[in-house]
């Protein structure tokens, strides 16, 4: 998906949001006021007061308030009116992530579980499959929006935007762990992709590498893929490296990105001039290139240096330990959890800085 398609999709979703019924818009406004201005058990506005403040009908106000009762943000007292209900009972934190091969384990899930245990919050995961829609995912949610907050990871741009709007409409606070997208309705914990590329280029060029190959082995329609690729293009132009290049494996979504990287590096190494350094834009891609090199007699790092863009489990225990980009998983997890239960009503964006862990898979460029 191109950046123009991203832009058009977000505009279309924003336009559809503008067409929502008046009671829905009033509900959104009142929910924001509850989160920003009220404390638990505080008396809420009266119907008459809201009619006067908002210049809307009693039917509109009543529908919005009853929806907030259903969502768990208000409780009704037949004689005294409505009272705000915030953080009463257990807090549920749920991760929405794709299920691949029967597993929905995502990078950082163990740290999420540990952080939730420390805060005495209940952690849950909702896995979705290839052909399921945002509406299908919404049916998985088990608790009221005032009790349950949602983390999102590993989704396509289209699904992220659509699911985000449905979560917002239903009253669920939600945080995307991944790149910021124009039009996304929730908060975002973002890795600094420009800094990632800069660290890799500084390391490799200091070692004398000029024929550097950046390889996109993950599907193009994943959130992180296009943004990382765009940062690579920008940084290559800034550093004036005419022999460096960016290639795509054209990996379909829900397919094997390891196999895609292995196949692509085989084709590339058959046609000179071959690269002196390869940088797949994922950890699994880096392992695929290293595996190819080991099986085809390429000496790493003497003939080929390899850098991984994501932390790979046990990368330091591979036959040749991988140089890779990393970041503090604990920082990312805790920033995401802080945003989930923040009192801020406008979307927040937390930036995570990367670091480069240098291991044996990179060295000075050979001839």
* Backbone phi and psi for residue 13, each to the nearest 5 degrees, phi listed first: -70, -40
CATH number at residue 7: 1.10.10.10
Is 358 a domain residue? no
Q: According to the model, what pLDDT value does residue 195 have?
A: 94
| Full pLDDT tens readout for the chain, 367 residues | 555 555 454 545 455 555 678 888 898 899 888 888 898 899 999 999 999 999 999 999 999 999 899 888 899 998 889 999 876 678 899 999 887 655 545 667 889 999 999 988 999 989 888 888 999 999 999 998 989 999 998 888 889 999 999 999 899 999 999 877 888 999 999 889 999 999 999 999 999 999 999 999 998 877 678 888 999 999 999 999 999 999 999 998 888 999 999 999 999 999 999 999 999 999 999 999 999 999 999 999 999 999 998 888 899 999 999 999 998 989 999 999 999 988 787 889 899 999 999 999 999 997 5
Instruction: For residue 192, count other CB atoms closer than 10 A to its CB.
Output: 15
> Exposed e or buried b for every residue in 303-330, given b needs 16+ CB within 10 A?
bbbbbbbbbbeebeebebbbbbbebebe
Same domain (yes/no): 146, 217: no
Q: According to the model, what pLDDT value does residue 323 have?
A: 98
Is 367 a domain residue? no
Is 133 a domain residue? yes
48 contacts: CB under 8 Å, gap ≥ 6:
none
Same domain (yes/no): 344, 294: no
CATH number at residue 161: 3.40.50.2300
Same domain (yes/no): 197, 321: yes
* Dist CA 303 CA 249 (whole Å): 22
Rounded to a whole number, what is the distance in angstroms from the first to the last CA of the chain? 38
What total number of domains does the chain contain? 3
Same domain (yes/no): 136, 179: yes
Same domain (yes/no): 241, 290: yes
Which residues are 247's β-sheet partners? 215
* Dist CA 226 CA 1 (whole Å): 8
* Dist CA 195 CA 8 (whole Å): 27
Same domain (yes/no): 335, 320: no
Prior bond of 273 cis (ω within 30°): yes
SS3 content of the chain, % helix, strand, coil (to 5): 40, 20, 40
Same domain (yes/no): 27, 135: no
Is 359 a domain residue? no
Instruction: For residue 302, count other CB atoms closer than 10 A to its CB.
Output: 11
* Dist CA 300 CA 362 (whole Å): 8
Is 110 a domain residue? yes
| Final residue belonging to a domain, choices 67, 84, 101 | 84
Task: Find the domain containing 280 and state its range.
Answer: 193-327
> Exposed e or buried b for every residue in 59-98, given b needs 16+ CB within 10 A?
ebbebbbebbeebbbbeeeeeeebebbbeeeebbbbbbbb
Same domain (yes/no): 133, 65: no
Give the torsion sign (CA, 144, 158, 191, 256). Answer: positive
Sheet holding 323-326, edge to edge: 245-248, 212-216, 277-280, 305-308, 323-326, 355-357
């Amino acid at each position: 998906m191109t950046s123009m398609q991203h832009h058009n999709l977000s505009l279309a979703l924003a336009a559809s949001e503008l067409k929502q019924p008046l009671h829905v818009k009033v509900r959104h406004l009142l929910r924001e006021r509850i989160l920003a201005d009220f404390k638990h058990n505080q008396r809420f506005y009266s119907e008459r007061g809201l009619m006067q403040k908002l210049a809307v009908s009693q039917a509109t106000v009543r529908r919005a308030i009853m929806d907030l009762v259903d969502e768990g943000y208000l409780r009704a007292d037949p004689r005294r009116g409505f009272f705000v209900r915030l953080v009463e009972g257990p807090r549920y934190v749920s991760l929405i992530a794709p299920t691949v091969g029967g597993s929905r384990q995502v990078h950082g899930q163990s740290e999420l579980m540990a952080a939730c245990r420390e805060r005495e919050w209940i952690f849950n995961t909702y896995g979705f499959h290839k052909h399921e829609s945002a509406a299908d995912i919404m049916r998985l949610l088990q608790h009221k929006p005032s009790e349950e907050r949602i983390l999102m990871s590993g989704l396509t741009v289209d699904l992220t935007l659509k699911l985000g709007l449905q979560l917002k409409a239903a009253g669920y606070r939600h945080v995307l762990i991944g790149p910021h997208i124009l039009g996304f309705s929730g908060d975002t914990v973002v890795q600094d992709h420009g800094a990632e590329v800069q660290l890799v280029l500084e390391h490799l060029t200091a070692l004398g590498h000029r024929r550097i190959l950046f390889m996109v082995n993950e599907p193009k329609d994943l959130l992180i893929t296009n943004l990382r690729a765009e940062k690579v293009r920008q940084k290559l132009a800034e550093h004036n490296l005419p022999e460096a290049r960016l290639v795509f494996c054209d990996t379909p979504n829900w397919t094997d990105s390891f196999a895609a990287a292995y196949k692509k590096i085989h084709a590339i190494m058959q046609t000179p001039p071959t690269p002196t350094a390869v940088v797949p834009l994922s950890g699994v891609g880096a392992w695929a290139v290293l595996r190819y090199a080991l099986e085809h007699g390429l000496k790493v790092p003497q003939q080929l240096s390899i850098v991984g863009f994501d932390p790979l489990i046990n990368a330091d225990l591979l036959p040749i330990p991988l140089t890779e980009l990393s970041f503090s998983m604990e920082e990312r997890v805790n920033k995401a959890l802080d945003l989930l239960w923040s009192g801020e009503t406008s979307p927040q964006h937390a930036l995570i800085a990367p670091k480069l862990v240098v291991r044996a898979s990179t060295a000075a460029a050979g001839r």
